[in-house]
Chain A
Amino acid sequence: MPLGRDEKVPQLRLTAVQYGILGIFLILVFGLWRLQVVGSDYYSQLAEKNRIRNVPLLAPRGKILDREGRIIVDNYPSFSALLLRDSSRNVLNDVDTIAAGLHMDPDEVRDRVKKFAFTPQYQPIFLKDDITPDELAFIESHRNELPELETIMAHRRLYPKGGFMAHLIGYVGEVSEDMLNSPQWEFYSAGDVVGRSGVELSYNDILMGKNGFRRALVNSRGKEVGRLDETPAVPGKLLKLTVDIDLQIAAEEALGDRNGAIVAMDPRNGEILAMVSRPVFDPNSFAVRIKRADWNRLVTDDDHPLLNKAIQAQLAPGSVFKVIMATAGLQEGVAQTLQVNCGGGGNFYGRYFKCWVVSEHRTHGVVGISKAIYQSCDVFFYTLAEKLGIDRIAKWANLLGLGQKTGIDLPNEVSGVMPSEEWKIKNFKQKWYAGETISVGIGQGAVAVTPLQLARAVAAVTMDGKLQKPHVAFPDELAKYGVQNAAKIQSETLVPIDPQNWETITDAMAQVVEPGVGTAPSAHLNGIDFAGKTGSAQTMSNALAKRIGRRVRDNGWFVGVTPRRNPEIVVSVLLEEGEHGYLAARASSQVIKAYVEKQRARQNNQNLYRAAAAPGMEHLPVASEAVLTAVESRDKAVPTKERRQLLAEIAQPERRPDAAATAGLKPVLPSDEFFEMAGFYGEPDPDGHGEALHAARFKVILHPQAPVGMAVGR
């Protein structure tokens, strides 16, 4: 039916359209309600994450000082390249460009991105540490193209050059996944740089600071448009060691390039004064990130450069063990009257045992306990061992700390072995054969000790039985930092030794270095009461040597003290394949000599020290507080004009403190009103990152009032 021109559109259809529009609007309102009412919190969080970026502020690790406050381990400013993931870019698209600019392998970059895929997105990934100036320039010039790249200044460890004290100090590295799984490290997070060995590990909690972070407002291009708040980084604390750099230098020089170890300890309190192990590694190569090849070379090296032999080498002590044998023999009342005729050897349990002296085509003749010690007569100690039996020997060796850890505050110490009947049954399910006791009598057989154990045991004998627990930190310093059980790192055990026995043994030890009398006459020190005991230990049986077709030379040992009774220092020397004990004795005497000379120089300058002691100072400083004050009171330490130049230099990233400055820490003993030393001083970083460090030589002027230092050139 045709419609008229004026006929209206049906009202019903228009109403239907109105309802349709209402329906559409209700759907849209539902969409808004879903997002703005129901999902409000969720989307608010996302919006916050968009605009807020957490920029980490890295805390520098604490410096490590020697007992006199001289800096051993310091930090230097270094730049790291970061990859930000909270920017709106897909970083995987830029990997090739980034890798090329930072001289990295693209796959390595991808691997790192994958490794950190499950950490929160606002946490940046560390791409490369210690970047070079041209890599820094690359990042700066690609701010627009690669907004996800960022740099951060970090304080890196600057260790003494050439592996000086490397084993004692240890090194730092990124915390490994295995470590994170253990309860000790559960509060650390991936990427944290922690101590991995040595003091860096055992005192990590003190040395490691707490990273802070700055919350910054950013726009969609990742550009900072404002700052919200800042949780400042808490720098790690200073750690003062018991080590004396002067003695450490003497010990490093005494050992030279030979494999082995030297440990020097104050037997009065167990403070470690020096500790050297050879061969060395350079911890500076760990300070950033060690290359895989370098690491493999270190762990596969037969000489075990990473091993701190002072506490981790377990070797037969050889004749040094005779000091322990003599103690056991005298205390058990067996040795006093024992007289043995040494004809170059003797029969024990049906086997002939030689005395070392036959190699010189002579014999010892009639030998008593004293001569047995200073001439190191094997036959005497074979006889003594036979008379004592293994359990009485083991009893005294154990009392003197052998076969157990010394408890030093360094990681991964080993316990060594002190055999006994019980030990053999437990470990070998075999009976102890009396014949085995004979070898033990001269420190061979199953006996195995570390240089530190031997130093401690011999020291206890010369200290009238006072056995100390060795340690490298000061308990009172640790207590100041609130370390629990700080006092426990130092302790003393008394081993009952009769005074006359003590005198007999120590007098005999003094004869050891007496020309024409003892076994190490070349180690004699004029005017110094030096006593000790040599040892040379076979490292493999003659049968085994025949089989491999090569004779491995004996290990040389020496443990020396000064003075002979109640000594101030004990020095234990291990020369691997050092052949003769007297070579070890010479190394030991060098350290002893350095110690005595330093003490004497000190006493000759009493007035100087008295003048330097500021009110409230407990120890007379050579440098300690004076240097610290010099470093801290920057206004006085460096003239303003020079400061400005230094600031300008620090601003240039390629200007780094030269490690040589620390390595060349030659002690300058106080001669007049001042002395010089190498060290670092801090400057406020121009970028506001805290403190930048600069190497310098300091002239420290000692003065009745507060000590003032000044830089005297670099």
Chain B
Amino acid sequence: MKRYISFRDFDWILLGFVLAICAAGVLEIYSATVGTKFAGAHLRQVYWVLGGCFVMFVVSRVNYHVLLDQVPWMYVVSVVSLMSVLVFGQKDPGARRWIKIGGGIHFQPSEWVKLVLILAAAKYFADARQRELTVGDIIKAGMLVGIPMLLVLAQPDLGTSLTYLPIALMGLFLGGLRFKHAMAILLLGAMMAPVAWHVLKPYQRERLTSFMQPEADYHGSGYQVIQSLIAVGSGGIWGKGTGHGTQIQGSFLPVPQTDFIFAAYAEEHGFVGALALLLLYFVLLMRLVQNAQTAPDRSGTFVVMGVVAVVTFHILVNVGMVVGFMPVTGIPLPLMSYGGSSVLFTFLALGIVMNIRMRRFVN
């Protein structure tokens, strides 16, 4: 086995796309926060991105098989940390999501659990030696992802808990889910929906429904949706120009630098700009899938595809929310939305992908 791996095999093209998206994000964060109490956020975002790059390079040197071997106890630590958040976490209006570490740093475990789940699912499905999954496999995989999901849901953080779901679905699909089992899962999901509805908090229900009829509650939960639609729609084909988005600059769309960064971007850069950005994301994802194909083994493919699933889901839910197709769930847009946890998670995940790519010829 050849021990040497080289940065010559590092996916510089992928990194190029990633940094292009980050640049657009930093620019829009600057435009959205200049003159507000969040002014300077774009600089912090730059630091996060640089830190992310550093983390990515470091992680890319770590053999992913080592990580996969450590997955069992990482999974246990994850579940324990999620439980401790429920017990000791900081109340962030109505929900416990953060643990104060000290020194002003807040730790949000649910973001890192995502990564652990990607690895855990990859290990689980790669180790399953059957061409097709049995019902027992499906149930075990469901529990693997389901336990952390329920813990996050209890925080309550519906949005983040939903981001775990595509990891399981992607694993099942690639792991050889039979058609009748897929149908059974869908049916079960449909039957569970009314039960889940009852479990949800009223504000969560409101968010889930208000996107369909935002005018019904103009001044309540529908406000953000309406203002986001106005921002995007009024951007038109060519946009209003950086720093000239009236919805953003007049702060009609509240806190646009985080979850609604895409609305801000679409207002100022129009349909053309938004299309270009989506194209960047699409190329990025296709590049990731290509990396999955060239992965040296099954587990590498599953890890990369897990990342693809999570990133795609984030884009779908976030952009879908901005254009009014999806409810407001508080899911950030990867690489663009302001926030350290999200940036670091993405780069960490990309670092693992890089490692898998660099090992494509290693056997």
Instruction: Enumerate chain A interface residues (CB-CB to B < 8 A).
Output: 1-3, 5-11, 13-14, 16-18, 21-22, 24-25, 27-29, 31-37, 39-40, 42-44, 46-48, 50-51, 88-90, 217-221, 225
Contacts and interface: CB of A to CB of B under 8 A. Distances in A.
The A interface is mostly helix, strand or loop, or mixed, namely: helix
Interface in B59-104: none
Nearest to B301: A9
Interface string B325-353: 10000000000000000000000000000
Given A50-B252, A51-B252, A13 B174 contact: yes
A17 B235 contact: no
Contacts of B302: 9
Given A24-B316, A28-B315, A37-B237, A6 B298 contact: yes
Given A3-B131, A40-B234, A50-B230, A35 B323 contact: yes
Nearest to A13: B174
Interface in B118-136: 126, 129-131
Given A5-B297, A9-B174, 10 more contacts: A9-B302, A14-B292, A17-B174, A24-B315, A27-B320, A40-B234, A40-B236, A47-B233, A47-B246, A88-B223
Contacts, number: 150
Contacts of B247: 47, 50
Given A220-B250, A220-B251, A37 B271 contact: yes
28 contacts: A3-B131, A5-B298, A6-B297, A8-B298, A10-B174, A14-B305, A17-B289, A17-B305, A21-B308, A24-B315, A24-B316, A28-B316, A28-B323, A29-B278, A33-B271, A35-B233, A36-B232, A36-B233, A36-B274, A40-B236, A44-B233, A44-B236, A46-B233, A47-B233, A50-B230, A50-B246, A219-B251, A220-B254
Nearest to B325: A31
Contact of B323 (A31, A50, A219, A220): A31
Contacts of B246: 47-48, 50-51
Interface in B181-233: 218-219, 223, 227, 229-233
B271 A32 contact: yes
Given A6-B297, A6-B298, A43-B234, A225 B250 contact: yes
A423 B47 CA distance: 101
B127 to A, nearest CB: 9
A39 B316 contact: no
B286 A43 contact: no
Q: Rank and list the top 6 A-B pairs by shortest CB-CB distance, nearest first.
A: A43-B233, A31-B323, A47-B234, A36-B271, A90-B219, A35-B233
A29 B234 contact: no
A46 B292 CA distance: 45
B34 interface: no
| B-side interface mostly | helix
Contacts of A24: 312, 315-316
A43 B282 contact: no
Interface string B261-293: 000001000110011001001100110010011
Interface residues of B, number: 54
Contacts of B174: 9-10, 13-14, 17
A88 B252 contact: yes
A6 B278 CA distance: 34
Interface in B297-315: 297-298, 301-302, 305, 308, 312, 315
Contacts of A2: 129-130
Contact of B232 (A1, A10, A43): A43
Contacts of B298: 3, 5-9
Contacts of A21: 282, 285-286, 289, 308, 312
Given A3-B130, A6-B298, A22-B282, A14 B250 contact: no
Contacts of B286: 18, 21
A698 B155 CA distance: 78
Given A14-B293, A35-B323, A220 B234 contact: no
A659 B231 CA distance: 53
Name which of A36, A220, A221 has the most chain B CB atoms within 10 A of its CB: A36
A507 to B, nearest CB: 83
Contacts of B361: none
Contacts of B292: 9, 14
Contacts of A46: 230, 233-234
Given A29-B275, A51-B252, A40 B233 contact: yes
B252 A28 contact: no
A32 B323 contact: yes
A21 B308 CA distance: 9
Contacts of B129: 2-3
Contacts of B275: 29, 32
B173 interface: yes
A169 B164 CA distance: 79
B51 to A, nearest CB: 28
B29 interface: no
Contact of B231 (A31, A37, A47): A47
Contact of B266 (A36, A42, A88): A36
B170 interface: yes
Contacts of A218: 250
A113 to B, nearest CB: 14
A86 to B, nearest CB: 11
